[in-house]
Amino acid sequence: MKVKHYHREYDSYKTERQWALEGFLVAENVEGIELLPSKQSKQPCKYYKPNEVRPATESELQAFFQLEKERRREQARAYRKARLEREQEEREREIEKAKWCAVEPYKKKIDELSMVINALDNDPSTAIAINFEATGYEYKNELLQLSVINFRGDILFNSYFKPQKHKEWTETEKENGITPEMVANAPQISDMAKQITEIFNNAELILYSKQYNYNSLFLWSDIYIQPEYRREVNVNKMITESDNFELTKDSLEKCQAILKLYKEKLHWVEENK
């Protein structure tokens, strides 16, 4: 049966509490009627008409209101408990959110470290530190030197190159200290292309420190590196944030410094040293 809304025809009907406030209690074996107090109400209340109630004694009314007080206290306790549980759940969600926000900036470094560890389980050469020197760092410049070490510090490659087209490189010579005389009898990079390609294509993590990338220099030298499944990390920001850290001119020493800095920043502990 559909519950009705309270309206004028029920003006003489009252709830059990309303009758008690007027000195009456609900008689025995009466059914009453369930009504919605207003259009906004979702929970119906039981209403009784005048012939369904009887006059009550003072002691009966005291007992009724005592039970009602206890019932209301119980309802209040249940409400407070539910509210505290909701607040606790909200606090826990906020704590989890704060933890996530605190950890998020370090996830990339954690991922990098995990990649290094996984790579080293198979082959330390899959994580390499490199340094390269060139006649310049724009398109069509040429490599003068390339140094590569693996994550243990073992030298995988270290060689000068004689450029094909450039005869001098005044600006970068001041930076790297490599003179035309030093590379006059060096091999051309094309002679070493296969070896270099194999080293780089085997790497899953490449550390370097230049403001510019090596790919364009490699392409100009016909060295094609496959980029799939490889991560590159430029440690320039780490260098900037480190006190009293300077890179030497020597290419191989730069590799070793790059690797050392990267390990320190990731709190890497070398074993079996």
Quickly count: other Cβ atoms within 10 Å of residue 231's Cβ: 17
Q: Which residue has the higher pLDDT, 21 or 263?
A: 21
Q: Please state whether beta strands 33-36 and 4-5 pair in parallel, antiparallel, or not at all (unpaired).
A: parallel
- Domains annotated for the chain, with CATH where assigned, are 4-56 (no CATH), 123-265 (3.30.420.10)
How much is the average pLDDT of 12-29?
A: 92
Q: Residues near 269 by Cβ (< 8 Å), separated by ≥ 6?
A: none
Nearest to 69 by CA among 26, 17, 34, 25: 17
More confident residue, 187 or 141: 187
Q: How confident is the model at residue 250 (pLDDT cuts 50, 70, 90)?
A: confident
pLDDT, position 270: 43
Which residues partner with 146 through β-bridges? 132, 159
Share of the chain above pLDDT 70, in %: 84
Give the C-alpha separation, 105 to 54, whole Å.
73
58-85 residue pLDDT tens: 999 999 888 888 888 998 999 999 999 9
In whole angstroms, give the CA distance from residue 161 to residue 151: 24
Find the helix or strand (DSSP H, E) in which 231 lies.
strand 231-234
Which residues are within 8 A (CB) of 220 and not within 5 positions of it... i.e. 6 or more apart?
139, 140, 141, 142
Give the confidence band of 190 by pLDDT, cuts at 50, 70, 90.
Answer: confident
What does the radius of gyration of the chain's CA atoms come to, in whole angstroms?
A: 41
Residues 110-146 have pLDDT tens digits of: 676 666 566 555 566 678 899 989 998 777 888 899 9
CB 160 within 8 A of CB 137: no
Task: List, in sequence order, every residue forming a beta bridge with 55; answer none if it has no partner.
Answer: 24
Indicate the residue type of 62. Answer: Q
Pick the more confident residue, 141 or 220.
141
Per-residue pLDDT at 9 exceeds 50: yes
Contact 202, 234 (CB under 8 A): no
Q: Say yes or no to pLDDT of 226 above 90.
A: no
